[in-house]
Structure 1
Amino acid sequence: MSDETTSGSASPAAPRVKQLRLVVEAEDFEAALAFYRDVLGLEPQAAFEGEGGAQVAILHAGAATLELANPAQVRMIDGIETEGGRSDRLRVAFEVDDAVEATERLVAGGAELEAEPRETPWRSLNARLRGPAGLQVSLFQELEPLEERTARDGFQPGTTE
């Protein structure tokens, strides 16, 4: 038997990733930490200081997924979310309870607004910003439950093993 299931996912015996950790180099470490911790609301998990002024803070961001998209998908999303503004090769998306409030809070906290919150065809409210350390950030709020989203044409649910 192969190591792949018919859905293309690894078999249960295959190694599994335990955590996704995105490392962002921030020239102004204190400003970036204050923004992502205090303004966005990511919870501190750990922090370390080392020789030569080395600093790192690990902030908990809830569940993590890796969203892989081909260029056509990225162009489609850019057209919907930003009327054609370009995505960086890496854009970090945070699910929030209230995309309008969170967008206003992040802009007041120093983020640059790239696109106002707008409803997408798949019923989420998405905004795009530029945060400290040059990180492109999307905020999204799901407007309907997963059960309703899975009923849409083109939706292919993955396994939750």
Structure 2
Amino acid sequence: MSEPTPPRRLRLIIEADDFDDAVRYFRDVLGMPEQAAFATTGDDRVAILHAGLATLEIASPAHARAIDEVEGAPPTAGPTLRIAIEVDDTQAALDASTADGRPLIAPAVETPFRSLNGRVQGPAGWQVTFFQELETLEERSARDGFATDDERP
């Protein structure tokens, strides 16, 4: 069996009842530039927004609860739809979001994994966590407790 080819891009699709609100928030409040996209007519609408480099984070329920605890966010029942967006300034992103009327779920807090995280309620039921890295991936990887899943005991 040959090695799989890594994907070129991750596209996360958010179905939003209030399309205009969701587009305005991610495009205008968070600054994600819009790319050309195809849709037909009427209510068939789509906006593809450039969100920078993407990673897919898969968390066990226990880890999701641990993140809630670290970020000071209330625990949620069952799987939660959450987007984590790396920003240059977590507090500025939280301020822009709350000024836009998004409820604050958890204020900015420095995490044990050396990032500054804060969370708001975004459009269409999605929670949005903003994170600002306080050290490089190389620095983090050298510390105890950081490894890939296949390296863990």
Whether contact under 8 Å (1:150, 1:157) holds in the other structure is no
Mind listing any 5+ residue stretches in structure 2 that lack a counterpart? none
Mind listing any 5+ residue stretches in structure 1 that lack a counterpart? 4-10
Distance 1:70 1:138, change over 3 A: same
Whether contact under 8 Å (1:126, 1:141) holds in the other structure is yes
Report the 3-state secondary structure (helix = DSSP H, G, I; strand = E; otherwise coil) of the residue aligned with 1:38.
helix
Q: Does 1:94 align with 2:85?
A: yes
The alpha-carbon deviation at position 157 of structure 1 amounts to 5.2
Question: For the residues of structure 2 that align with 1:30 and 1:48, how far apart are their CA atoms?
Answer: 16
Normalised TM-score (structure 2): 0.88
Whether contact under 8 Å (1:75, 1:84) holds in the other structure is no
Q: Does 1:121 align with 2:112?
A: yes
Report the 3-state secondary structure (helix = DSSP H, G, I; strand = E; otherwise coil) of the residue aligned with 1:56.
coil
The alpha-carbon deviation at position 79 of structure 1 amounts to 0.8
Q: For 2:60, which of 67, 70, 92 is the aligned residue?
A: 70
Whether contact under 8 Å (1:47, 1:55) holds in the other structure is no
Q: Deviation per CA, 1:112-140, whole angstroms, max 9, x where unpaired?
A: 11000101011100011111222111000
Identity, in percent, stands at 51
Match of 1:47 in 2: 37
The alpha-carbon deviation at position 47 of structure 1 amounts to 3.2
Match of 1:130 in 2: 121
Runs of 4+ off more than 4 Å? none
Normalised TM-score (structure 1): 0.84
Whether contact under 8 Å (2:82, 2:127) holds in the other structure is yes
Q: Deviation per CA, 1:30-61, whole angstroms, max 9, x where unpaired?
A: 11111100101111112333134210000010
Counterparts of 1:24-35 in structure 2 under 5 Å? 24-35=14-25
Q: Which has the larger radius of gyration?
A: 1
Q: Does 1:16 align with 2:10?
A: no
The alpha-carbon deviation at position 83 of structure 1 amounts to 5.0
The alpha-carbon deviation at position 84 of structure 1 amounts to 4.1
Over aligned residues, Cα RMSD in angstroms?
A: 1.9
Match of 1:6 in 2: none
The alpha-carbon deviation at position 74 of structure 1 amounts to 1.1
Whether contact under 8 Å (2:94, 2:130) holds in the other structure is yes
In terms of fraction of residues, the more strand-rich structure is 1
Match of 1:140 in 2: 131
Question: For the residues of structure 2 that align with 1:115 and 1:146, how far apart are their CA atoms?
Answer: 24
